[in-house]
Structure 1
Amino acid sequence: MSDLLFLRAEAIRGLGICHVSFLMFFFLNPFVSQMVRAQSNDASIRFDKETKVFRIDAADTSYVLGINEVKQVQTLYWGKRLSMDDTFAAPHSASGNSSFDLSTNTTPQEFVAWGGGVYIEPDLKVTFPDGNRDLVLQYQSHTIDGRLLTLRLKDISREVYVDLQYEADPITGVLRRSAQVENKTASPLNIGQIASGTWNLPRGTDYRLRYLTGRWAGEWRLQEQRIQPGKTVLESRRGSTGDQNNPWFAIDRDGSNDQDHGDVWFGALGWSGSWRISIEQDQVQQVRVTGGPNDFDFNYRLAAGERLQTPNFYAGYSHDGIGGASRLLHRFELGSILPNAPHPKLRPVLYNSWEPTGFNVDEAGQESLAEKAATIGVERFVVDDGWFGQRSGDKAGLGDWNVNPVKFPHGLRPLIDKVHSLGMDFGLWVEPEMVNPNSDLYRKHPDWVLNFPGRPRTEGRNQLMLNLARPDVRAYVFQFLDSLLNENDIAFLKWDYNRNWSEPGWPAVAPEEQKKVYITYVQNLYSILEELRRRHPHVEIESCSGGGGRVDLGIMQYTDEVWPSDNTDAFDRLLIQDGFTYAYTPGVMMAWVTDSPTWVNQRTLSLEYRFLSSMQGSLGIGADLNHWKPQDFETAKKMVAQYKQIRETVQRGSLYRLISPQNGSEYSVTESIAEDQKLAVAFAFLHSSQMLYPFPRIYLRGLKADVTYRIKALDGKLSTGSPAVASGAFWMQHGVDVDLRGDFQAAAFTLEAVSK
């Protein structure tokens, strides 16, 4: 008889990633019964002892796997939730097509080691001291502990164990996968490749892949391509997440290009170092997605008795198109990933002083800007680069985290007190992982940077990278940040990271240990952030990397918001923000209103347009207030007040892309709707009108059809003849017309449920 375990449906945070010892969460005792049916917001794990089939059900998703006759862990189903009465027969390994296509390669395995004739992308590859590189894993046992399923695998002859870990989110159905390798042999072994696991899609030939690419000032470009036989590799070899690819994917059926309908399988890797995701269609038309740390220049020496935990690889399924997939991922991030989940704090309206002052910060100038920012309703004032050491430009000072005595003769306290007196909290820019060669820290500790002895040290932005994998560097970085927060009433750190790795050497350890730097560096980064948050729970942190170079579900467990791009051109931002939201929630997406024309395109845009573009995310302001006219302050004050009224809906609601700015579209329309569906806000943008054609009619989504909503223009004009009040069905089926004509025009309106 099957064992049926049902789990209570409270929302929880995701588990931490890549720790040597796996952190367990304990829940209330599950109610065991074969007859009880799961509710839509339950998560359940069932194991059938006779067929050796595991079934995980959560939200609208079922995930089924089993142990076949040769003790492989085999995927059986992943998709829309099945009836609780549906059963699966005992799994059997696939028969090989020929001597060239062995069963090991054609069976859809959850986690496969390189050995026993494996040619597909392996999840694990090791080398033993005797030169043997063959590893064949078989199921040994399993445990079900609340919401956590752990499958233990073992090599057929050697004492190498792998624990596969599965946990389903009951609200969204998103599944968390990871693996832990344990060396119980008497000697060290070398791990040359390791993944968190493989996702197997139903066999097919009509799949399409979506992924995100970019570069500095041009991040978050959505790409689409048909999946064909062979392999597509998304990766970063940069030591960090990177702009060039982001560790997110979505796969749907080719030709099903609909925001709200169709099957979509999607996933994201929670890792902030070098990473790799391969999408492979094999010789029997099976599609596999394997992800984990990048194996380029990688080797991890695992000593006898040691364990290595992989990052988390998250994935989910939606029957409601790519829009439904992104809404599920947003809900999962808000409910299980971000600090303070399932109720992350709303992002305050922020002002950053970088553009007005650059490196030329001083107490008087910052106080003057703070006074101006306060008049428009800003809630957080942030001093950017230039406040420390001998920092008069980007060629000196990084690493010397003492307050510059010329710029701030009495320290930061007078400025902080001034900011507080104006009703704002105080934030500060830091770049803890970097050092300028022209700094006291580098002159004292030149060995602290990543380097190969006797080789050049490549600089980027006139700086080098500290080797955070070193215990002494980790201690230094934590100590100065901890002291900075202890000595000053700081509510926010803008944590920047302005270059990628080069010369990734670690000469302080033995040569066979040096490539651990790729793992240990990121582990220490996470541990610093985790300890800082524990000691200073009121402090919030932004992840910035010259824009969106370090945005992933790993860093987001420790940071409250992210900086998507240094490109703040409000028109470019429509495309950047659209791409960003396929993978990440608008609730963490910082979007600044800066001066026009910007340095990017020398394009002139109205202040209203710039605000509306930024109000689709977490609103910030970076313009030079010293040059604003009185009417600019009046406009900004009005729009900041409007944003505060809709902020919760934008940051925590469900996002619908009504008209996409992709592929050179003249139009862009987004809608955010509150969880209770009582308030919706829509933003509409026009590049250029042509030949007297009107702006396309806007058809709302996600409203309650039988509820009455009142429409109200926030900015711009609704077309004459629109009713003031109508049903949700009317607004979704009849639609809304806005009066937008000209170049770079924008409008916004709300729909609020009318109480009966």
Structure 2
Amino acid sequence: MSFAVAYDGKLYVGDADFKLVDQKIQIHQEFKQNLSIWMDGALKVNLYSIEYDCGVNEKWMEIINVSSRNVTINRADSLYVTVEQPYCELLYFTSGWGKEFSPACRALHDSFELRNLKGRSSADFYPWFALLDSRGHILSASVAWSGNWVFRFEKVGNGYLISGGLSDKDFEKSLKPGEMMVCPRVIIVEADNFDLDEMANKYIRWGRKYWYPSNSISRDLSVEWNHWWPYEDIDINEEIFKANVDKAAQMGIQVCTLDAGWFGPSDKYSRWYDVRGDWEMVNSVRFSSGIRALADYVHEKGLKFGIWCEIEALGEKAALRFNHPEFEARRDGKSLGYICFGNPEVQEWAFRMLDRIVTEYTCDWIKLDFNLDPGAGCNRIDHGHGEGDGLYEHYMGYYRVLARLRERHPELLIENCSSGGLRMDLGIMRNAYNTYVSDPDTPLHDLQLFWGATLILAPNVCLHWPWSHSRTDKEGKAPYPPLDLVNQRIDKAILDCYVRIGMLNWFGYSHKLAELPEYVFERLKYHVEFYSRYIKPFVAEADLYRLCGQTLREDCLPIKEGSPHLVDNTIWGKAGDRWSAFQFVMPDKNKSVLFVFRMHNSETTRRLKLKGLEPDATYVLTFNDRGERLVAKGQELMEEGLVFDYLAEENSEVVFIRKI
């Protein structure tokens, strides 16, 4: 694997245009790091590669201006590799609000680009791909970057040239003599036999062991209640929050998060979006005792207190906009709606503000959101960055603020969110403990998300609630169909199915806990205990296997271009799989748990072949709902499988598997 750098308008490629002047190899017990140093007349490139014991390769480079003049960097590809295969197919995911992890498959007959230009890493596409060839080999890569990125697949001779990393569109960075640019890291994984689970588990094991930060809350997977969907913005107040905290404590929930609606002017009808930035102000009409008193109340109940903040944002009516016009990100004189972290003064202000919020309100959890597309970013020249690298410097600055916040408050849980899942990448996950996967959480959408997200991220860093009670307006409209457990009677088995979907990852609720009928309250309480006692260890530690194709929302059809045929039909069929099954297997293969979901418009019977077990070992299987026990060899379970012919539509089963 090589690299490429364009500067002063010309592209230069690794060993073709640079000279290798030094190489340093450090061998550790669990990984090997290679540093190769390349020079040309103007630049020094430190090319880093780390080969991990779990089959993952991490690559990045530092570009240093060693000349006596300014050099303008136009492109920087940490990934630059040739694949000598005449036919390949590309798997990737498109995105959008409420459309996260929509699948796409393309036969690469010609050159093709995946590129995100909205300024948030997963606003259009996810910064990930899997390239499959006719031998069954998979080459996958993901850019650890929260801004704009690119992957290029250029048809060259009898194969493909794959390059990418930081997007070069509308980007340039001027380096003065002696200055250095650090490029985004690219994570590379390979697998065989068209085995997406093998590929995904390499990402998962590596992330848990080497990448994701960890503290006591993240290790515990503390169950959360967040008021946002049923009590959005103007509907939340001190009394409502406290009433739900009381019920959360009785239910066994561990964290209560105060989402948007707490800050800004003391006005019952002020809108959160308009006053983002005024974090020092508390809406005392809604919270007359203040936020610290509310946090104290939560803590007195034995729970942890969380709070929402959009520290990057700048609302149109925010006092911050008028008090600090020098903070504002602008492009060609037009406001972009956020403050530019490429400005060191903004970084310092943001850190101090976050530190103040966490300290004064004794927060255990902070949800950091970002609800706009920066595009190419700020091009003001009075922030310390140039006209062409404002977005790059914004994210480098944001990462620095998150790192400082983690250092100051190591037990604070930092949640990443961006209009749901529109800035979800390995770059942000270096400094966040979990990430919110999507705003909507209807059952089919939940299953679609989990199937796709865990190809890249571990289940224990994916936060998503089971189907929530989204708020309806005066006209009865909601952002997505709500699950109203207060007024609608629901069959127990169907409720179990919906809730169990949320147990596949980091779990919580967004419902009107204080208004639930007693039978619903008791059932949700049961599921909190079930998840905490039996499921958490699997979400936190286990490998994950997909036993069905990807379930898709009813409005989502897979994109198929160029007549792909290698794995297309086994993954999606024509419109997604209406059975969904995920098997968690502990690393020692002694324990496993299987979740099975039969959704509507599905066939009545499905045979599921298990994975990841020891062929010669004997396992006892306990069917949680059906109450059956079964003893079988691992080989039998993996070759012949289990037949599920007793589940009604929108019903589920949980099977515990233990080696004896």
TM-score (norm 2): 0.87
SS in 2 for 1:212: strand
- CA displacement 1:236-276 (0-9 Å, x = unmatched): 1122213211111111224x7xxxxx421111111111111
Could you tell me which residue of structure 1 aligns to residue 528 of structure 2? 640
Could you tell me which residue of structure 2 aligns to residue 397 of structure 1? 275
Give 2:255's match in structure 1, choosing from 380, 394, 411.
Answer: 380
Quick check: 613-622 or 590-599, which moved more? 590-599
> Within 2, Cα distance between the matches of 1:673 and 1:442?
51
Give 1:649's match in structure 2, choosing from 535, 538, 547.
Answer: 538
Q: Structure 2 matches for 1:165-176, cutoff 5 A? A: 165-170=48-53, 172-176=54-58
Q: Displacement of 1:344 after TM fit?
A: 6.2
Quick check: 508-517 or 475-484, which moved more? 508-517
- The higher relative CO (CA closer than 8 Å, separation ≥ 6) is in 2
SS in 1 for 2:524: helix
Whether 2:502 is the aligned partner of 1:614: answer: yes
**CA spacing shift, 1:475–1:187, aligned 2, 3 Å:** same
Q: Displacement of 1:437 after TM fit?
A: 1.8
Could you tell me which residue of structure 2 aligns to residue 250 of structure 1? 130
Name which one, 1 or 2, has greater alpha-carbon Rg. 1
Q: Retained in 2: the 8 A contact 1:493–1:539?
A: yes
Q: Retained in 1: the 8 A contact 2:466–2:500?
A: no
> Within 1, Cα distance between the matches of 2:579 and 2:636?
22
Could you tell me which residue of structure 2 aligns to residue 83 of structure 1? none
> Within 1, Cα distance between the matches of 2:215 and 2:244?
33
Could you tell me which residue of structure 2 aligns to residue 295 of structure 1? 168
Q: Structure 2 matches for 1:233-248, cutoff 5 A? A: 233-248=113-128
> Within 2, Cα distance between the matches of 1:751 and 1:625?
33
Could you tell me which residue of structure 2 aligns to residue 339 of structure 1? 213
**CA spacing shift, 1:165–1:439, aligned 2, 3 Å:** same
> Within 2, Cα distance between the matches of 1:342 and 1:142?
39
- CA displacement 1:349-368 (0-9 Å, x = unmatched): 11101122211332221111
Could you tell me which residue of structure 1 aligns to residue 587 of structure 2? 675
> Within 2, Cα distance between the matches of 1:343 and 1:409?
29
Q: Displacement of 1:632 after TM fit?
A: 0.7
Structure 2 residue ranges without an equivalent (≥5): 471-477, 485-489, 552-571
> Within 2, Cα distance between the matches of 1:137 and 1:686?
57
Q: Structure 2 matches for 1:195-234, cutoff 5 A? A: 195-201=77-83, 203-230=84-111, 232-234=112-114
Q: Displacement of 1:503 after TM fit?
A: 7.6
Q: Displacement of 1:434 after TM fit?
A: 0.3
SS in 1 for 2:197: helix
What amino acid maps onto 2:285 in structure 1? V
Q: Displacement of 1:732 after TM fit?
A: 2.5
Could you tell me which residue of structure 1 aligns to residue 512 of structure 2? 624
Could you tell me which residue of structure 1 aligns to residue 340 of structure 2? 467
- CA displacement 1:392-432 (0-9 Å, x = unmatched): 31343211112333333332222222212222111111100
> Within 2, Cα distance between the matches of 1:342 and 1:370?
21
**CA spacing shift, 1:316–1:502, aligned 2, 3 Å:** closer
Could you tell me which residue of structure 1 aligns to residue 66 of structure 2? 184
- CA displacement 1:106-140 (0-9 Å, x = unmatched): xxxx12xxxxxxxxxxx211118xxx887832222
**CA spacing shift, 1:590–1:512, aligned 2, 3 Å:** closer
**CA spacing shift, 1:510–1:393, aligned 2, 3 Å:** closer
**CA spacing shift, 1:134–1:688, aligned 2, 3 Å:** closer
SS in 2 for 1:743: coil
Could you tell me which residue of structure 2 aligns to residue 726 of structure 1? 632
What amino acid maps onto 1:347 in structure 2? L
Could you tell me which residue of structure 2 aligns to residue 11 of structure 1? none
> Within 2, Cα distance between the matches of 1:748 and 1:512?
54
Q: Retained in 2: the 8 A contact 1:689–1:742?
A: no
> Within 2, Cα distance between the matches of 1:408 and 1:596?
23
Give 1:568's match in structure 2, choosing from 441, 454, 460.
Answer: 441
Q: Displacement of 1:559 after TM fit?
A: 0.5
SS in 2 for 1:348: coil
SS in 1 for 2:539: helix
Q: Retained in 1: the 8 A contact 2:385–2:393?
A: no
Structure 1 residue ranges without an equivalent (≥5): 1-74, 76-109, 112-122, 257-261, 459-463
What is the root-mean-square deviation in Å for CA atoms of aligned residues?
2.4
> Within 2, Cα distance between the matches of 1:292 and 1:506?
21
Give 2:242's match in structure 1, choosing from 353, 359, 367.
Answer: 367
Could you tell me which residue of structure 2 aligns to residue 436 of structure 1? 315
Q: Displacement of 1:603 after TM fit?
A: 7.7
> Within 2, Cα distance between the matches of 1:623 and 1:431?
23
TM-score (norm 1): 0.76
Q: Displacement of 1:299 after TM fit?
A: 0.8
**CA spacing shift, 1:337–1:511, aligned 2, 3 Å:** closer
Q: Displacement of 1:372 after TM fit?
A: 1.0
Q: Retained in 2: the 8 A contact 1:688–1:741?
A: no
Give 2:300's match in structure 1, choosing from 413, 421, 435.
Answer: 421
Could you tell me which residue of structure 2 aligns to residue 587 of structure 1? 460
**CA spacing shift, 1:126–1:337, aligned 2, 3 Å:** same
**CA spacing shift, 1:481–1:154, aligned 2, 3 Å:** same
- As a proportion of its length, which structure holds more helix? 2
Q: Retained in 1: the 8 A contact 2:615–2:633?
A: yes
Give 1:509's match in structure 2, choosing from 360, 382, 406.
Answer: 382
> Within 1, Cα distance between the matches of 2:385 and 2:395?
19
SS in 2 for 1:641: helix
SS in 2 for 1:705: coil
> Within 1, Cα distance between the matches of 2:76 and 2:153?
16
SS in 2 for 1:228: coil
Whether 2:598 is the aligned partner of 1:686: answer: yes
Give 2:548's match in structure 1, choosing from 659, 662, 671.
Answer: 659
**CA spacing shift, 1:723–1:448, aligned 2, 3 Å:** closer
Q: Structure 2 matches for 1:596-611, cutoff 5 A? A: 599-601=479-481, 606-611=494-499
Whether 2:427 is the aligned partner of 1:547: answer: no
Quick check: 134-143 or 191-200, which moved more? 134-143
> Within 2, Cα distance between the matches of 1:650 and 1:493?
22
- CA displacement 1:630-680 (0-9 Å, x = unmatched): 111111111111112111112321111001123332211111111122221
**CA spacing shift, 1:405–1:576, aligned 2, 3 Å:** same
Q: Retained in 1: the 8 A contact 2:37–2:44?
A: yes
Give 2:192's match in structure 1, choosing from 319, 343, 347.
Answer: 319
> Within 1, Cα distance between the matches of 2:503 and 2:12?
55
SS in 1 for 2:404: helix
Q: Structure 2 matches for 1:96-135, cutoff 5 A? A: 110-111=2-3, 123-127=4-8
Q: Displacement of 1:209 after TM fit?
A: 1.1
Q: Displacement of 1:516 after TM fit?
A: 2.1
> Within 2, Cα distance between the matches of 1:219 and 1:307?
35
> Within 2, Cα distance between the matches of 1:191 and 1:580?
33
- CA displacement 1:134-190 (0-9 Å, x = unmatched): 7832222212233321111111xx2421121111112x1211111111111111111
Q: Displacement of 1:701 after TM fit?
A: 1.2
Q: Displacement of 1:724 after TM fit?
A: 2.9
**CA spacing shift, 1:602–1:389, aligned 2, 3 Å:** closer
> Within 2, Cα distance between the matches of 1:237 and 1:713?
48
Q: Retained in 2: the 8 A contact 1:571–1:613?
A: no
What amino acid maps onto 1:367 in structure 2? K
SS in 2 for 1:222: strand
Could you tell me which residue of structure 2 aligns to residue 78 of structure 1? none
SS in 1 for 2:450: helix
Q: Displacement of 1:727 after TM fit?
A: 2.9
Q: Retained in 2: the 8 A contact 1:355–1:624?
A: no
- CA displacement 1:196-228 (0-9 Å, x = unmatched): 131333x11121111111211010112111122
**CA spacing shift, 1:723–1:440, aligned 2, 3 Å:** closer
Q: Displacement of 1:442 after TM fit?
A: 0.9
How many residues end up aligned between the 2 structures?
Answer: 608
> Within 2, Cα distance between the matches of 1:346 and 1:227?
44
> Within 1, Cα distance between the matches of 2:244 and 2:390?
42
Could you tell me which residue of structure 1 aligns to residue 35 of structure 2? 150
> Within 2, Cα distance between the matches of 1:386 and 1:688?
37
Q: Displacement of 1:694 after TM fit?
A: 3.5
